[in-house]
Chains A and B, each alone.
Chain A
């Protein structure tokens, strides 16, 4: 490890020498990942001052802030490299739409930052993709229960594993108990919980909600100039708000009926097409 740390007090006086007098508390930071490579940069005074100023306003150390800027910039460049189209030409990816849909809350419309049901999530993403076509990169096909994009579940699992989404059914275990009996008990509880929950309701019980990190991601996504124009993002946001207000809390059947009635080409392989058609017919008569 070759970190060189310079410390400055509030008057910008270098107090690095005081470092040696500090109590050793490194064990408290053992869980923080080590940065074992060093990057020295020469920058002009004005930029350094600006970095310090912004970092102070944000309540971060200026090294931390500068590193975060670099990290985020590199991440954007990498993402851009995989899809070199201009932001205005690049469709939103499904992961982005999932995050924005979950984060789309409007107090006036009593929206919640949560969705219940795997089918509901699929169908609402389908509607977003249809309404915003071709601004969403989706792969919906006519499956056994209507439109379905097989990448959605994988994307949700990925976002859950990255701590951006909390999704029941995708709980991960990071550390198992050492003791056999405790491990067995943990596994038994997990199996019972997931099966009892499924058995207790006729409806789907999967829940999806944004974590704090997910909310922060959505905020940055909407505010940044990357990954789509602000107009396109406004449209995406407005569409998600509307979808959640309309279909976020109604019985799932109503959402399914709406999709089947308006997008029949995506129901050609459906096992429940006749059943839903009869329901829609009955509704229209009454």
Chain B
């Protein structure tokens, strides 16, 4: 197995950089928290120089998610203005680069389901070459060409700003009611990308719930990707919550069949969007996961909208709980008791030292709103707490077998009964019986 993403003891973590606002928080976590960054292609299109400066400053590995699935849906790349629908500029520019010279796409406006219009191997090859060229050049060209007159030569040429692996473009399996065709297209993209001769190649596999239950499809997908030339795979059970995966025997079985098939095919495998529960899949071949700031276990296709929620990451249960519940759970605890039973992360230590834990749960009700929202300070505190707590739970998980992690989970459910969700029990039960 080629180690492109997940070297060292599993589970490993890659942090996803989705927006410029993520960077100040990632800049303040210890280097050991994550092995690298997954950077959204649209962010790199938007601000290559500042993303390049950020990556250069910390010199951590990165890969670029081409986000090609977003060209399958109108919602992501358009916005309405003055009653007219227009394409968002970053996606338009991204599409122009991806589609350049591709038969059937060249000169077309950015269209719904654009990626699916690639039918020939020749077109796929050109498309993949464009996508890889973007990953390889966009940051470096902004850094060197545009930044040359500002950056010292040591910095300019001292770090190549090349991704540690190239991610093949991808479509969502099951989005068009013909999963076999989608699987073949995914395999074609991975194969075309691998044939470009710039290894290692990462294949992203987004799978809708119904298809995940189809064991034959999962076997076809695993064997196809294993022969594609890709060396690493990131699996994405689209929109499936931790609870849904654990609670449904057929979903869980489909996922584990896929993971095992990929592992047996010699592929390095992880979860594209994951959390603590994903770490428990290492027995099935998942070596790690990636996710963005403050996200839970799952990720759907459609954009999340609205104001940030009042949730606090509660490490014993590995879940984000509403402020009201989290604050009730810790009410009456001494500072030391909180550090021992709930969280002893860097930020919690600092807040406990001055008796200010309540700052995590500060809210306000904006004009016209009916419910409270976190203050911006509380939101920042919760973001950093999420990162620090995640680092600690991963360190903890690396040192212990799954059986102990499951036992800890069950103990936590008993210890904090008001928050004992079915998720925890379902996972414990599923893993115990698997």
Contact = CB atoms under 8 A, between A and B. Distances in A.
A194 B151 CA distance: 28
B149 A75 contact: yes
B381 A82 contact: no
Given A157-B20, A157-B50, A183-B30, A74 B380 contact: no
B329 to A, nearest CB: 21
B371 interface: no
15 contacts: A33-B154, A153-B47, A154-B20, A154-B49, A155-B50, A157-B47, A158-B47, A158-B52, A176-B28, A180-B346, A187-B350, A192-B377, A196-B377, A198-B376, A269-B81
Contacts of B27: 172-173
Contacts, number: 118
Contacts of B46: 150, 154
Nearest to A141: B89
Interface of B: 20, 24, 27-30, 46-47, 49-50, 52-54, 57, 81-82, 89, 141, 144-156, 158, 345-351, 353, 375-377, 380-381, 384, 388
Contacts of A155: 49-50
Given A75-B153, A78-B148, A269-B82, A158 B377 contact: no
A71 B151 CA distance: 10
Contacts of B151: 75, 162
For the complex, would chain B's binding face be called helix, strand, loop or mixed by DSSP majority?
helix
Given A76-B149, A82-B141, A195-B375, 12 more contacts: A71-B153, A78-B145, A78-B148, A82-B145, A95-B146, A150-B89, A172-B57, A176-B28, A188-B350, A188-B381, A192-B377, A196-B377
A164 interface: yes
Contact of A79 (B20, B47, B148): B148
A217 interface: yes
B57 A174 contact: yes
A261 to B, nearest CB: 22
A188 B53 contact: no
B148 A191 contact: no
Contacts of A159: 150
Nearest to A195: B377
For the complex, would chain A's binding face be called helix, strand, loop or mixed by DSSP majority?
helix
Interface of A: 33, 71, 74-76, 78-79, 81-83, 93, 95, 150-151, 153-155, 157-159, 161-162, 164, 171-174, 176, 180-181, 183-188, 190-192, 194-196, 198, 217, 227, 268-269
Given A174-B57, A180-B349, A154 B149 contact: no
Contact of B150 (A33, A74, A162): A162
B254 to A, nearest CB: 41
Given A151-B47, A173-B28, A75 B20 contact: no
A78 B144 CA distance: 7
A58 B27 CA distance: 38
B428 to A, nearest CB: 30
